[in-house]
Amino acid sequence: MTTLDSDQKIAEAMLKFPIQSFVYERSTKKAMNACSFALIGSSKSGKTSLLKFIVKKYFDDDIKVLMTQSPQADIYKSLRKEVAFSPAYIPDIIKTCYLINKNTSNHYKFCIILDDIVGVKNDRQMVKLTALYRNSGLSYLVVGQDLTMLNPIGRANVNNVLLGKLVSAGRIEQVVKDFCRFHFPKNLSMQEKFELYNRLTQDHCFIFINQLENTISRVRLSESQLLD
């Protein structure tokens, strides 16, 4: 197949993914209110802006704890009044949130945010958070530059996946194979799917996959969303 033929196929596939503003409908039912997000993107992909928007828009009433190794970073300035910060991954925080709800009939809404925390994907509390604790009123957002924060169980169970610009071919291959391959047009080769991903995530766009509803879209924060 010629390069021209391949470019045409990718261009036609691009038309299936017009840019939309990011919209998410969080359930208002208590039993279904907890939810989870994975935000994957390289530095300057726009994932921090997206994280802050999601936290303020959809988790305003939750009790929020953000675990990061850089709690002093300026990128978190707008969150300091509404989020408790932990300077490292502390599994007992997750366990305590679970135990509180266990003893109060899931009275509280908790949200655990893990930003660029690596090496914890197989920790006991991390596995429970990503696989079980949603039923106990614990939501979570995992943010990073690749999928190493989540083990296969976590990847299969995360409700919402937002995939942004990646500079490493290996990381693109990983996220396409894990999340996008069956959503992208079947007439594309795997290499063409990698190139489609690269083009879809230009200019701070993200591929939004709702795994509960089995939907995919291309989203970007609008100017009004960035100003909120």
C-alpha to C-alpha distance for 108 and 102, rounded to whole angstroms: 10
Residues 6+ apart with CB under 8 A from 74: none
Q: Is the pLDDT of residue 1 over 60?
A: no
In CATH, what number is assigned to the domain containing residue 78? 3.40.50.300
The count of structural domains within the chain is 1
Residues 6+ apart with CB under 8 A from 175: 40, 146, 147, 163, 166, 197
Q: For 138-177, how does the pLDDT look when each residue is reduced to its tens digit (9 = 90+)?
A: 999 999 998 888 999 999 999 999 999 999 999 999 999 9
Give the alpha-carbon dihedral of 124, 141, 150, 23, to 10 degrees.
140
Answer whether 0.85 is exceeded by the pTM: yes
Residue 44 lies in a domain: yes
Output the six-digit token pair for 78. 């707008």
Q: Give the SS3 label for residue 118.
A: coil
For 110, the domain range is 30-227
**Cβ–Cβ < 8 Å for 138, 99:** no
Residue 13 lies in a domain: no
Q: For 178-206, how does the pLDDT look when each residue is reduced to its tens digit (9 = 90+)?
A: 999 999 999 999 999 999 999 999 999 99
